[in-house]
Amino acid sequence: MKLQQLRYLAAIVENDLNITAAAERLHTSQPGVSKQLKQLEDELGFPIFLRQGRTLTRITPAGKRVIERALRILKEVQSIKRLADEQRGDGRGSLSIGTTHTQARYVLPPVIRRFRERYPEVELHLHQGTSEQIADFAARDRIDFAINTGSQELFTNLVLLPCYRWHRRIVVPHGHPLAKESKGTIEMLGKYPIVTYVFGFSGPSSLQQIFARAGLTPHVALTARDADVIKTYVRLGLGVGIVASMAIDPREDADLISIDASHLFPAHLTWAGFHQGALLRGYMYDFLQLVAPHLTKRLVDRAGNASAPAEVDALFADVELPVYK
């Protein structure tokens, strides 16, 4: 059994049992991957996958156990490589981050600029996606850190560190009837079509529930996952926008009026997550502290050694998180 075979096996799983896609990702040939898989199965004495012709259709029960162990082995190999890099202390390596558009577009640029100034030899990989996609990146060990808002139930395999809170703001074009209001009300919003995030319509703090408590039903003109898309349609007059506070750029959005909505909607929590037991290199600790200054190495290590999420929560009980309004 070779380590290369385990890498091929992981790539097949990560590419939905598509050997051709796995080969492309590994920059090798499809016949080569098929040959290594066949040799591995012959050595084990049982099939890892069921087949229909040359197509892999699903994983066998025994195959699932092999894959679980293979992924653990590959993760340990990566940890050993990081340990070697850390011992050399040459400031080289890589850092993969999975995050949302809003964080990547509005929060992380100054963080990444300062990080690059400190660690010019570290390769940065930014993977943008929805909460579900980021959770998938984490499950497949494709990222070192996940940075996301809410949806903690999707990330039960990670240690979650609270970074900061943010509020929503109302955005309208100049000349809109709401433009002269310093603070909006639910009743005011109820008079106009709304353009906002998809995730704004689920959970206990959703717009639907908040409107319902006021005896109203929101008129939703459009939902999107991208604040820039929301603002584009607000400019077109499609409706009143509701976006994250940090998604307002004073220069680029000078044609829009931004109205405080922190009194209307609960604050959202953005957190950073990593796998428990992961070997964090020095520059990784520094990156976390650039994202949120209270995330010191000592606090991160204590959270990583916690046996339950409640213990992590207790560590941050007295920490005053930054707030974007």
**What tokens were used for 180?**
């002269």
Parts of the chain with a pLDDT under 70:
82-83, 85-91, 199-205, 325
Q: With contact defined as beta carbons under 8 Å apart, do 191 and 276 qualify?
A: no
**What tokens were used for 322?**
């930054």
pLDDT 10s digits, 226-240: 899 999 999 999 999
Q: What is the pTM of this model?
A: 0.73
Provide DSSP, 20-76: HHHHHHHTS-HHHHHHHHHHHHHHHTS-SEEEETTEEEEE-HHHHHHHHHHHHHHHH
pLDDT at residue 79, as a whole number: 72
pLDDT at residue 166, as a whole number: 92
Q: Identify the CA nearest to 107 among candidates 295, 292, 241, 300.
A: 292
Residue 19's H or E segment, with its range, is: helix 19-26
| Alpha-carbon span 170 to 172, nearest angstrom | 7
Question: CATH homologous superfamily of domain 89-165+268-324?
Answer: Periplasmic binding protein-like II (3.40.190.10)
Q: With contact defined as beta carbons under 8 Å apart, do 131 and 154 qualify?
A: yes
**Whole-angstrom distance between the N-terminal and C-terminal Cα of the chain?**
55
Cβ neighbours of 153 (radius 10 Å):
8
pLDDT at residue 201, as a whole number: 47
Question: CATH homologous superfamily of domain 168-260?
Answer: Periplasmic binding protein-like II (3.40.190.10)
Q: Identify the CA nearest to 51 among candidates 88, 21, 17.
A: 17
pLDDT at residue 283, as a whole number: 92
pLDDT at residue 271, as a whole number: 95
Q: Which residues pair with 197 in a beta bridge?
A: 224
Residue 49's H or E segment, with its range, is: strand 49-52
Examine domains 89-165+268-324 and 168-260 and report if their fold is the same: yes
pLDDT at residue 85, as a whole number: 66
pLDDT 10s digits, 18-41: 988 888 888 888 888 888 888 898
Q: Which CATH class is domain 3-84?
A: mainly alpha
Question: What are the boundaries of each domain within the chain?
Answer: 3-84, 89-165+268-324, 168-260
Cα distances (angstroms) measured from residue 105 to each of 46, 135, 302 = 48, 19, 30
